Chains A and B, each alone.
Chain A
């Protein structure tokens, strides 16, 4: 029988439930079937007008019933709830509305949006020049009170915590595009500290709107290969030209192995190690020497008590920006040496796009599915290999493989680097 504590004497942290929603669909099975079929969820944006924008495609989630002009926190909340419901149901933990542990949730940036500003401006009656003082004057009437809680930074976490009955103060967090992985890391740490026997960890992002698209566009981060949309995300290809914004959510139920065993729960995977290292080089670019990424991956391996040899699949950050893929490969090479070129490393983002704050959690779910099915989802749109990145990216077609330990990388603006090591079963 596996020990309840790991090589460092800490509680082993296992996954007993996971759920996911992406532009491919809602739920583990639907997503996995499409992911391993090499299907893309990227499409032309219809939720808002893209006239005048350089990028007109995204992996928006349009099949969840919400109001037509949904705002980011509203959609982020719905996506989080969808994924969490699936995860909690699978784990069978607690009772409905009474989850026996804390919530850690990665959420997209929150702020009043153009629809609200416009409504307030119209209501202000200001004709020639609208000022913020006019908007505040209208706000003070109380007629737009419904927007108040909605656009507080803590509102998504508050409502998700209420719905599922998680315990204690819900933690909303952001480490930019590494956020989803950070949510899981915080849950692992809480269980290892003995603060909790279980944690609900979610990454969610429903923030594709005109302004967020513009903001990433102005940093030249997005692919402009609008036609056909399905071919736009091209991680590791020579002609890669940026990432594709996307929406989605991933949720995992973490538990101590001891607690999971005690209630007879099925163990779906183990979060064996978490690593981090901040990069102090630049706000949007990685240190050219790759050291922070190397250090981050090594920290995760050390935390897992594993050597690089143990990793047999990498779920990379793999955004498809020229910079990310180059630096990630440099980092992987730095850790794994020549063997790096033969470790399969396929980017989910080639199909689902980059779900930003959700990505780390979504890709943890896909890593768990990879372990469960012993099958590697492909990197699609890999038609023009980049000779400077000679890796096995599982080009275009899924394949079976023996997988025991997955490395999942997440990197974000602001020098954020997080790596998780995920195993199939307790050692």
Chain B
């Protein structure tokens, strides 16, 4: 069967750079900054304050969510608005949804209370049981479950065609995009909401990544120039509406861009393996690439060895201008790849790439019209992916 064409007809993004693609564009043109005090010594890209009432009208709904869910539901609302499908049950009821999510948001006050009391407890396990039974808010469970961002989007925005949640850090974001696209291309879906949200501003998140010593500390630096310093994590919500071309045309929707290819891979991080995986995926897009009007938006994390391996890959394709979003947005794990496709779609709609954002020499200005963007993912641990996004018309 001939592959059907998939358009991006809606985009929504929130992060430390602001709300919406235009705000991101403006901020990407400015020097990067980050918070170095709230979670010192760790560098944090904290999200701008959002007026949640604008996308989550019921206070009761907001109270039933934790931060990552509010951020994701908000970004999903922006994408639905942007696609012109918000509040249209005839479309939302057959809209498919794939969300990439972590979850596990905790009440750290309860945790430290238990840990502080434990050494004095006569019976350690019984003490933990008692404190958890008394101190945990019942609804916190619904912020821990990975699929409850999707659940909240169904409730708040009425997306009910289908609902799947992928877990697994960066690879979840890549595979969510890949499978949502593949389903449309193969005729299994006409209209899909896909994306992710991550709240980095949590000590339990910092604890997880500090176990692997993968976090950057001290002063913020370009993601290309961290000398193995690791990730500057950031809070990000990013969603896209994907739509089969004829479906979009029939309702008069305008595309931001078209998805040509999305590929993912899974390799052990042995020397050269990541570079080789990127090259294999590159081979799938090379036949349709027009290098003179193409650029690369990279999801590079700053964690080694992935960062050096991606640099090696980029050296093989040095004819294309490169932009990494990790310097400005920070790294948001699951939403990084969807966020970078949002920014690619915005760049393609305007026909120009945003300015270079680093001083290490990896990024250089691009003149002329932009017609294709390659988006990369090399997760901090796993999660290799590549997308080719194209201008329409």
Contacts from A to B (Cβ < 8 Å): 48-54, 107, 109-112, 114, 117-118, 120-122, 127-133, 135-136, 139-140, 142, 144-145, 147-149, 151-154, 157-158, 161-162, 168-176, 179, 182, 186, 189, 192-195, 210-211, 214-219, 276-284, 292, 412-416
Most chain B CB within a 10 A radius of its CB, from A192, A215, A219, A292: A215
Interface pair B188/A192, CB less than 8 Å apart: yes
Closest to B266 in A: A169
A114-B128 contact, Cβ under 8 Å, with A139-B211, A174-B165, A415-B160: yes
- Complex Cα–Cα for A350 and B392 (A): 55
B49 within 8 A of A: no
- Complex Cα–Cα for A176 and B144 (A): 11
- Complex Cα–Cα for A284 and B152 (A): 11
Interface pair A129/B182, CB less than 8 Å apart: no
Closest to A49 in B: B125
Interface pair A173/B165, CB less than 8 Å apart: yes
Closest to A275 in B: B162
B171 within 8 A of A: yes
A169-B132 contact, Cβ under 8 Å, with A140-B213, A278-B154, A280-B155: no
Extra inter-chain contacts (12) besides given A174-B165, A278-B97, CB under 8 Å: A48-B125, A114-B128, A128-B116, A135-B203, A136-B210, A148-B214, A152-B169, A153-B167, A172-B172, A174-B146, A193-B188, A218-B138
Interface pair A283/B155, CB less than 8 Å apart: yes
B207 within 8 A of A: yes
- Complex Cα–Cα for A219 and B143 (A): 13
Interface pair B204/A111, CB less than 8 Å apart: yes
Closest to B97 in A: A278
Contacts from B to A (Cβ < 8 Å): 42, 64, 97, 101-104, 106, 108, 111-112, 114-116, 118-119, 123-126, 128-130, 132-133, 136-138, 140-142, 144-148, 150-152, 154-155, 158-169, 171-172, 174-175, 178-179, 182-183, 186, 188, 203-204, 206-214, 264-266, 268, 381-385
Interface pair A280/B147, CB less than 8 Å apart: no
A132-B382 contact, Cβ under 8 Å, with A153-B167, A154-B169, A216-B141: no
Interface pair A51/B123, CB less than 8 Å apart: yes
Interface pair B168/A154, CB less than 8 Å apart: yes
Across-interface contacts of A148 in B (CB, < 8 A): 208-209, 211-212, 214
Residue from A114, A151, A157 in contact with B208 in the complex, judged by beta carbons closer than 8 Å: A151
Across-interface contacts of A152 in B (CB, < 8 A): 168-169, 208, 381
> How many A-B contacts if CB must be within 8 Å?
249
Residue from B161, B183, B204 in contact with A112 in the complex, judged by beta carbons closer than 8 Å: B204
Closest to A144 in B: B211
Closest to B108 in A: A132
Across-interface contacts of B106 in A (CB, < 8 A): 111
The contact sample of 24 A-B pairs, CB cut-off 8 A, is: A111-B104, A129-B116, A130-B112, A130-B115, A132-B108, A132-B204, A136-B206, A136-B207, A139-B207, A140-B210, A152-B208, A153-B102, A154-B383, A162-B268, A169-B266, A174-B147, A176-B145, A176-B148, A218-B138, A219-B141, A276-B163, A277-B160, A413-B145, A416-B163
- Complex Cα–Cα for A278 and B155 (A): 9
- Complex Cα–Cα for A107 and B147 (A): 12
Across-interface contacts of B209 in A (CB, < 8 A): 148
Across-interface contacts of A214 in B (CB, < 8 A): 129, 132-133, 136
Interface pair A278/B159, CB less than 8 Å apart: yes
Interface pair B154/A109, CB less than 8 Å apart: no
Interface pair A135/B207, CB less than 8 Å apart: yes
- Complex Cα–Cα for A292 and B162 (A): 11
Distance of A186 from chain B, by nearest CB (Å): 7
Interface pair A283/B112, CB less than 8 Å apart: no
- Complex Cα–Cα for A195 and B182 (A): 9
Interface pair A175/B165, CB less than 8 Å apart: yes
Across-interface contacts of A158 in B (CB, < 8 A): 168, 266, 382
A413-B148 contact, Cβ under 8 Å, with A111-B106, A175-B165: yes
Interface pair A129/B210, CB less than 8 Å apart: no
Interface pair A50/B164, CB less than 8 Å apart: no
Closest to B150 in A: A414
